[in-house]
Structure 1
Amino acid sequence: MTCVCLQYVYLKAWISAPLASGAPYSDLLLLKSLLEYSSIHLAISKATSNKFSGNLWYLSPELVGLALFDSRVSSSTKRLMVSAMQSEDDQEQEHTKRITIDLDSAKNKNLEHFVTAKSAKLFQMMDLPDGFLTVDPDLWEDRHDYKLASETVRSLKVVNDHAERGVALIQEYSGFITQDESQLQFLLQVVNEHRRVYPDSRKQTLSGQP
């Protein structure tokens, strides 16, 4: 049943994991998928959603703004996000990397519900141009300032997901092909390099064409 859960829920999240711009939306989708899995296996759904709800770094007010550069996020959602970002903060809250979320209401949450005035700090921390925020999201792709900001965001590495992949890689191959520690380390390097060079099975990727 656990394998079914991995195939049903986790595959999309695994594929999109390295993309910083996609991290907030992917986290939200994964959480919703884990909750929806209750219709298949309630115990697994509860266990995984409770565990994952403590690791929602990218849905924090300071990082959720990364989703403004995610092509999967609709313009209507981005409008609501910008509007929430421009709202007034009534109370100063301590900076936090993680958030807590009520799982009972999570299915009805969208990205804009995690945005506050503090989300604008992302542009300050990363020294990103933000002039495009004054125009409609449908026009962002044609603006030079958006392209510059987007390029910077897309160059970010999602550290926690890279660490997770490393752990999964070790679990996948440890004891399966070799028991020798030195050979295992070499094998992991070879496999990891192969996955870096060939991240997917598209013909263009395998042929090395630009």
Structure 2
Amino acid sequence: MAPSNDLALMKNLLKAEASISKDPMKWPAKFLSFVVPARQKLQNHLWYLSERLVSLALFSDRTSSDKQTIKKAMLRYHDATDSPQTRKQEMPASHQLGSKALKDFIGHDSWSMFELLGIDSSFVKLPVAQWTTSDNYRHGKKVVANLPVVNDAAERALGLATDLNTNKAPKSEEQLQALYRVVKGVREKLHGLATSTEVVTKKSLASISYSWD
């Protein structure tokens, strides 16, 4: 799950960067030029460690040892009214992550994830060992597993808009959106063909049906 993966990767990058800085002679000369940019890139994509999204880790099979501590942290904030939920998701500062665990990112806003995704959170109060027998937990696990990757979808939409932003593009917003849908549909059909055959021929292209709902 993303929260656990992001935290583990950032810790490894911070550890490597510190080790290189302490004793550069033990590392290849160019290694630092890879580690630092990787850490800088990752620190701009730590939204899974925000209060709201870190609770996704409860549904991961890779965070079994952390679920009890995450649960305890969440219950401390359950029904708390001294700090309102926030609309803005704040990513943690990367230099503070070296000694952090997932439980350290839990806050008042962590409960809102259940409401936003329509997941009954009552299973959290059960012993962790009983979660897999809970219908609410299994439903939540299914919902989380089918969440689209928002960043990937946004980048694809931006790429499509950029590709079609020419002088010949329709001026009408309605026509432009229709063009986006057509091009997106064609690309999806061609992608399916390209990944299913080694060679894309004129005959195979001609066999594609371009009608869709």
Which of structures 1 and 2 has the bigger CA Rg?
2
Once the two structures are superposed, what CA deviation does each residue of 1:145-188 show, in whole Å capped at 9, x if it has no partner? 21111111111112224667999xxxxxxxxxxxxxxxxx7997
> 2:16 corresponds to which residue?
37
5 Å-filtered alignment, 1:55-204, equals: 55-75=45-65, 77-88=66-77, 90-92=82-84, 94-103=86-95, 105-161=96-152, 189-190=191-192, 193-194=195-196
Structure 1 residue 49: deviation in Å?
Answer: 1.0
Once the two structures are superposed, what CA deviation does each residue of 1:79-137 show, in whole Å capped at 9, x if it has no partner? 2112222224644464223413241x312111111111210111111110112111111
Cα distance in 1 for partners of 2:189, 2:133 equals 45
Partner of residue 46 from structure 1, selected from 18, 36, 51: 36
Residues 185-194 or 23-32, more deviating: 185-194
Gaps of 5+ in 1: 1-21, 168-184, 195-210
Cα distance in 2 for partners of 1:193, 1:70 equals 30
Cα distance in 2 for partners of 1:141, 1:191 equals 39
TM-score (norm 1): 0.62
Mapped contact 1:54–1:100 kept (Cα < 8 A): no
Once the two structures are superposed, what CA deviation does each residue of 1:1-45 show, in whole Å capped at 9, x if it has no partner? xxxxxxxxxxxxxxxxxxxxx111111122123223324423432
Aligned alpha-carbon RMSD (Å)? 2.9
Cα distance in 2 for partners of 1:70, 1:59 equals 14
Work out the number of aligned pairs and report it: 154
Cα distance in 2 for partners of 1:37, 1:163 equals 31
Cα distance in 2 for partners of 1:130, 1:186 equals 37
Taking CA–CA contacts closer than 8 Å with sequence separation of 6 or more, which of the two structures ends up with the larger relative contact order? 1
Amino acid paired to 1:189: H
Cα distance in 2 for partners of 1:140, 1:121 equals 19
Mapped contact 1:62–1:121 kept (Cα < 8 A): yes
Matched position secondary structure for 2:4: helix
Cα distance in 1 for partners of 2:139, 2:15 equals 37
